[in-house]
Amino acid sequence: MTSADTGSNSDFKKRIPEVDGLRGTAIGIVLIWHYFVVPTVAAPATPLSYALVLGRLTWSGVDLFFVLSGFLIGGILLDARNSTNYFKIFYTRRFFRIVPIYGAILLLFPALLFAVQRANHGDFTWLTAHAMPWHSYWTFTQNFWMAHTVTLGANALGITWSLAIEEQFYLTLPFVVRFFSGRRLLACVLAGICFAPLARTAIRLLWPQNTITAFVLMPCRADALLLGVLAAFLLRNDLWKSRIQRNNLFFAILVPVLLLGIAFLTLKSASADSLLMQTIGHTWLALFYVTVLVYSVSRTNSLLSRALRLKWLGWLGGIAYGTYLLHQFVQGILFGYIHAHEPRIMGGATLLTGIVALVLTLVVARLSWLFFEHPLIRFGHRASYSFEDPAARDLSKSASELSPS
């Protein structure tokens, strides 16, 4: 969810609008989940309860974020793997993209919470209950504490488990890409994809009462991230890219099969921590999302690609990171102050509060992007990757090793 770069391969020099649209889709369905599906109180067997069924998997926007992060970060690393300042530039840019707004929220959260509590009005217990040690948030290790305590911690910062996973992934993938190439690199990626569901299954069998561990630890969620990396590999290889663009039958068969699986998971009401989801469900979702990604960026004239290039969707994708970090904090503050309880939609007044929280979140995230995040990202990109041999910029020789002999 943090990725904003697109790499430097000749086909990937400019921003990919379809990816921005997918990022907008990801944050959009996360907002639907947290703002409307989870808090809505609906009587059984009512039209509203049936409508909510359609939103049962909207929590999986995070899985789409993982696929997109793997695709973008994997592509950046592949394009820069022969640079002389590979690690320095990568981590400098990641720092300025991720840490400043995250650190600002960690600093502002207790200050704003103290201010609203001093107003002696409202109830903000929901925001702070079961908080992890503060140092865990600063070190991106909160997911380990979550696994240990079997809780996502304080609701205002509970969503940062996914950020911890991505940061831990960013600490490992650059070394794999730098020191492995061709089929060995591909083997590492495929092994990681296969390992993740096996690890989740093993954890659930060994500790069936612990429904959090397999959900929040990086190796257990690496399948979605590495499927994105795999997509970056294939689309940077002329042979594989050509095959993907020509093979309409493959997509015509694969997409309906994946959609049937999505429908099954929806009807089974498979929650993120259910046994079904933690064995094969997360991998199935990731396969669906990476298929949508590959199809959209390889068929730019398709209806899907045109839909993903809608300006409002790209706009939403541009502020996705800030929106993700802010949305539950804003939601909790408003509900706690106005209604003195956790986010819960029970009628017109509480629905209006949810809508106001949504609008306010988007406004604050946009301002953060314009005046805080974007200037820092531009500063981080002042330094560029350098190559001793200009020909090293061409990834065709490396990518050709991925082709079947």
- Asked if residue 147 lies in contact with residue 217, where contact means CB atoms within 8 angstroms, the answer is yes
Confidence at 169, pLDDT banded by 50, 70, 90: very high
Give this prediction's pTM: 0.92
Distance CA 32, CA 49 (A): 15
Residue whose structure tokens are 């909790």: 332
Distance CA 71, CA 12 (A): 11
Distance CA 159, CA 216 (A): 10
pLDDT at 396 over 60: no
Structure tokens at 87: 């690690």
Give the mean pLDDT of 367-386: 95
Percent of the chain that is helix, strand, coil (3-state, to 5): 75, 0, 25
pLDDT in tens, 210-243: 999 999 999 999 999 999 999 999 999 999 999 9
CA angle, 34 then 255 then 200, to 5°: 55
- Asked if residue 51 lies in contact with residue 329, where contact means CB atoms within 8 angstroms, the answer is no
Q: How many residues does the chain have?
A: 405
pLDDT at 397: 43
Confidence at 199, pLDDT banded by 50, 70, 90: very high
Give Cα 83 to chain centroid, integer Å.
27
Q: Phi and psi of 165, rounded to 5°?
A: -60, -45
- β-partners of residue 345 are 40
pLDDT in tens, 242-273: 999 999 999 999 999 999 999 999 998 778 88
How many C-beta atoms surround the C-beta of residue 351 within 10 A?
15
- Asked if residue 399 lies in contact with residue 233, where contact means CB atoms within 8 angstroms, the answer is yes
pLDDT at 398: 45
pLDDT at 395: 46
Residue 173's contacts (CB-CB under 8 Å, 6 or more residues apart) are 73, 74, 77, 225, 229
Give the mean pLDDT of 366-389: 93
pLDDT in tens, 49-102: 989 999 999 999 999 999 999 999 999 999 999 999 999 999 999 999 999 999
Give the mean pLDDT of 197-212: 94
